[in-house]
Amino acid sequence: MARVAAIDCGTNTIRLLIADIAGRERHEGHDGHGGQGGLRDVVRTLEVVRLGEGVDRTGRFADAALERTLAVTRRYAEICREHEVERIRFVATSATRDAANRADFTDAVLDILGVPAEVIPGTEEAALSFRGALTALPHPDAAARHLIVDLGGGSTELVLGGSAPDAAYSMDIGCVRLTERSVHSDPPIETELAGIRRDVTAALDVAAGIVDLSQTTDVIGVAGTITTITAHALGLTRYDPQTINGSRLPLHTVLAACESLAGLPRAERAALPYMHPGRVDVIAAGATIWSTILRRVAEATSAVGRPLEFVTTSEHDILDGVALSLVP
């Protein structure tokens, strides 16, 4: 048993998972899918730092965004020391890939943690998300074709596969990026939402040439935007990860939740008991992205006689995949 730490630094959040994890033979012998059987949470936390604030427009990290993110990284380093972590892996995704001054960030992370900040490509991000997301399924169907959708702040990963991914694509669309690009009203007006849908549709047109959406037998959505939409669809009175994780909802219920969130004024979004303060400003764009993706998948699967009827949500994602990658 080893104690490891995974840190995922995205466009909107930076997250830490400290976990005790079994060796590879014991772990894979449990469920064959890198599931929760070999991973026991010690600490799981996140901070909204909005590292990617303005990156879509300027191509650079803002000084204030860097300061916020590095302050949390220092706090995470102290937590890792307190819990006597043996191995740490820090991955950075969309915003860091796009920033011209990313070396300022990665050099600082190395100084703080003693490990490099790995700026991973979208394809690796997708593979790690796939591995983590499948832990929400207690008994994965080996014949299923899972489409994992990881909807982040700056990018959205699509990855299709059975017990392992065999096609993946990273789209440069995310809830922060498209909020900054398109949303200027409270609540967003139809022309703004239509602009988001156009951008997502254009990205899906390219993605569909690599990831055959018609092969999908089930969709598993991961990351904070999708888990928040799921909480809304479930009508929760608080954010409850155990209820959200593995939930399987009818497609029409999820689409209705997306439409509802996209139409709420900011004050009403902020008052929702499961809404993290850092998601209030970007959830309308995120909900529009999610509904556009789901409609496209439903169209593709209906065309081959296997219409998409349900959508699954996983609380486990790239963060769990990163931790699992540290198994010796």
Any idea what the CATH number is for the domain that residue 76 is in?
3.30.420.40
Q: Which two tokens stand for residue 297?
A: 């998948």
Taking the C-alpha atoms of residue 317 and residue 116, their distance in angstroms, rounded to an integer, is 21
Question: 206 and 245 share a domain?
Answer: yes
Indicate if the pLDDT at residue 26 is higher than 50: no
**How far apart, in whole angstroms, are the C-alpha atoms of residue 279 and residue 283?**
6
Which pLDDT value is given to residue 127?
84
Domain that holds residue 226: 139-318
Helical segments of the chain, H only? 24-31, 55-58, 63-82, 94-98, 102-113, 122-133, 175-182, 190-207, 224-234, 241-244, 251-263, 266-271, 283-303, 318-324
Residue with tokens 């037998």: 217
| pLDDT per position as a tens digit, 277-297 | 999 999 999 999 999 999 999
Tokens 């596969």 locate to 161
- Tell me the percentage of the chain whose pLDDT exceeds 90: 73
> What is the pairing mode between strands 218-222 and 310-314?
parallel
pLDDT (0 to 100) of residue 140: 66
Classify residue 326: in a domain, yes or no. Answer: no
Average pLDDT over residues 81-109: 91
Identify the CATH number of the domain in which residue 264 sits.
3.30.420.150
Return the pLDDT at 55: 85
Query: What is the sign of the dihedral through the CA atoms of 78, 83, 87 and 88?
Result: negative
Whether residues 57 and 115 fall in one domain:
yes
Mean pLDDT of the 200-207 span: 98
Taking a C-beta distance cutoff of 8 angstroms, is the pair 254, 294 a contact?
Answer: yes
| Domain presence at residue 93 | yes
Residues 147, 273 within the same domain: yes
Query: Looking at residue 32, what is its pLDDT?
Result: 34
Residues 308 and 165 in one domain: yes
Query: What is the rounded distance in angstroms from the CA atom of residue 87 to the CA atom of residue 231?
Result: 33
> pLDDT at residue 322 above 70?
yes
222 found inside a domain: yes
- Looking at the structure, tell me whether residues 182 and 150 fall in a common domain: yes
Among 300, 298, 286, 46, smallest CA distance to 154 is for 286
**Residue 328: inside a domain:** no
| Domain stop point among 120, 147, 177 | 120
Q: Which of 26-30, 124-128, 265-269 has the highest mean pLDDT?
A: 265-269
Q: Is the pLDDT of residue 34 over 80?
A: no
